[in-house]
């Protein structure tokens, strides 16, 4: 019996503003999204503000050392509370000076005691689910969301096995990459390496062995795991210490819908995270980490190499694909799904597009 061909998603999944708005209110507001790194809020009262799914939010470290996330809006007359980064003993609204504890409870406000029936204990900032995932802070706007370990089972522990020093890591370098395409085009491109030997010569010949590359979904949850061996040592574009466990491997964990941890050969952690700006615009952030954020010539050199090759190459690929999706001449073609999987197969794209269909339908 001949297996039925699977075709790629229809173009409107990527180009229709109504679908994008549905995703913004649905998927992107009900999934775990990267907020920032715990090292950004090392001390009590440290905070940073950010935007997610059209909402203004902030993370702040409480006196109990717990990092919490809140909608960045005063419960009095809706003024924005905090901007950018800083430290606050308490959170004070700049509009009428209503003051909140670091846990969100209302502490005080000018003349509120004169209001008959006013119950201060019933006023509190609206909290958002927040988790520390190996030092990376994620939030979910869905108050009933399952914990990250149910969405991404076993990944927390796997990262610790491949990057034993992950608890000590802090950002060394961030690269912000605007892309003129729908976010799903960029995520799909990341989630297959069918294009790598043709388009990413430096990565394919100086970092990994493409012939060993494979991407598989975990049995449960929403994870695509990339695995491969490092390139022959004489071809590697940077030095690695092979005496460390897993040093000769590359492994990546894509956490649906918009984040990926990558462990490069040599136990080097780096990340991608995406933000959807509009139906035809997204931003990708590329992160590189070292213990304590300390300088490293090797990591700086690798980040520069990546920025000038793989990152730059991908911009042209995804923007070209998005232009093509808007062409009346495009009909979704069949995915190349090899039963043996491997680098020249798009089985991972089939899984990813299944999640995309579910998100739009749900």
CATH of the domain at 105: 2.102.10.10
pLDDT of 1: 38
Beta bridge partners of 265: none
Residues 312, 248 share a domain? yes
Q: Using 50, 70 and 90 to split pLDDT, how confident is the model at 228? A: very high
Share of the chain above pLDDT 70, in %: 99
Domain ends where: 79, 106, 140? 140
pLDDT of residue 4: 76
129/194 same-domain check: no
Per-residue pLDDT band for 2 (boundaries 50, 70, 90) equals very low
Do the domain assignments include residue 295? yes
Question: Is 263 found in the same domain as 344?
Answer: yes
Domain boundary among 90, 108, 140: 140
Do 212 and 167 lie in a common domain? yes
Please state the rounded mean pLDDT for residues 154-160.
98
pLDDT, one tens digit per residue, over 159-207 is 999 999 999 999 999 999 999 999 999 999 999 999 999 999 999 999 9
Q: Is residue 50 part of a domain?
A: yes
| Cα–Cα–Cα angle for 41, 42, 48, rounded to 5 degrees | 10
- Residues 209, 343 within the same domain: yes
Task: Look at residues 140, 173, 199 and tell me which one is the last residue of a structural domain.
Answer: 140
Beta bridge partners of 32: none
Domain annotation covers residue 283: yes
Please state, in angstroms and rounded to a whole number, the distance separating the CA atoms of residues 147 and 329: 43
Q: How far apart are CA 225 and CA 215, in angstroms?
A: 5
Q: How many domains are there within the chain?
A: 2
Among 84, 32, 38, 27, smallest CA distance to 58 is for 84
Q: Is residue 48 part of a domain?
A: yes
Is 94 in a helix, a strand, or coil?
A: coil
- The Cα–Cα gap between 3 and 54 comes to 42
Question: Which CATH number fits the domain that encloses residue 356?
Answer: 3.90.380.10
Averaged over 309-332, what is the pLDDT?
98
- Quote the pLDDT of residue 3: 59
| Residue 115 in domain | yes
The answer to the question of residue 229 being in a domain is yes
Domain that holds residue 268: 151-361
Q: With contact defined as beta carbons under 8 Å apart, do 102 and 60 qualify?
A: yes
Q: Are residues 92 and 159 in the same domain?
A: no
Q: Which H or E run contains 351?
A: helix 347-361
Query: In this predicted structure, what is the pLDDT of residue 37?
Result: 98
Same-domain check for residues 133 and 218:
no
Residue 163 lies in a domain: yes
Is residue 172 domain-shared with residue 255, that is, in the same domain?
yes
Claim to verify: residue 228 and residue 97 sit in the same structural domain: no
Statement to judge: residues 105 and 214 lie in one domain: no
24 assigned to some structural domain: no
Q: In what order do the strands lie in the sheet with 91-92?
A: 91-92, 99-100, 106-108
* Mean of all residue pLDDT scores within the chain: 97
On whether both 328 and 208 belong to a single domain, the answer is yes
Tell me, yes or no, whether 98 and 158 share the same domain: no
């Amino acid at each position: 019996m001949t297996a039925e061909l699977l075709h790629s998603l229809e173009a409107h999944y990527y180009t229709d503003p109504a679908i994008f708005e549905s995703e913004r209110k649905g998927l992107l507001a009900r999934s775990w999204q990267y907020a920032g790194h715990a090292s950004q809020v090392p001390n009590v009262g440290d905070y940073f503000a950010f935007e997610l799914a059209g909402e203004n939010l902030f993370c702040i470290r409480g006196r109990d050392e717990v990092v919490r996330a809140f909608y960045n809006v005063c419960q009095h007359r809706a003024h924005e509370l905090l901007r950018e980064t800083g430290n606050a003993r308490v959170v004070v609204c700049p509009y009428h000076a209503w003051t909140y504890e670091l846990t969100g409870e209302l502490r005080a406000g000018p003349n509120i005691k004169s209001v008959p029936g006013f119950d201060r204990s019933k006023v509190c900032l609206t909290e958002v689910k927040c988790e520390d995932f190996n030092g990376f802070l994620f939030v979910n706007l869905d108050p009933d969301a399952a914990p990250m370990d149910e969405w991404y089972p076993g990944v927390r522990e796997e990262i610790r096995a491949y990057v034993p020093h992950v608890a000590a890591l802090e950002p060394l370098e961030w690269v912000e990459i605007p892309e003129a395409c729908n976010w799903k085009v960029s995520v799909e491109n990341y989630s297959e390496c069918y294009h790598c030997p043709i388009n990413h010569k430096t990565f394919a010949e100086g970092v990994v062995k493409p012939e060993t590359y494979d991407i598989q979904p975990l049995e449960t949850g929403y994870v695509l795991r990339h695995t491969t061996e490092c390139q022959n040592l004489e071809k590697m574009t940077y030095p690695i210490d092979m005496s460390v466990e897993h040093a000769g491997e590359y492994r990546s964990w894509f956490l649906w819908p918009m984040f990926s941890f990558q462990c490069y050969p040599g136990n080097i952690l780096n990340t991608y995270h995406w933000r959807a700006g509009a139906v035809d615009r997204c931003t990708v952030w590329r992160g590189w980490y070292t213990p304590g954020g300390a300088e490293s010539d090797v990591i700086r050199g690798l980040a520069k190499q990546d920025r000038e090759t793989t990152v730059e190459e991908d911009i042209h690929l995804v923007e070209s694909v998005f232009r093509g999706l808007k062409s009346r001449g495009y009909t979704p073609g069949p995915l190349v799904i090899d039963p043996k999987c491997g680098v020249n197969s798009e089985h991972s794209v089939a899984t990813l597009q299944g999640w995309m269909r579910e998100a739009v339908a749900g």
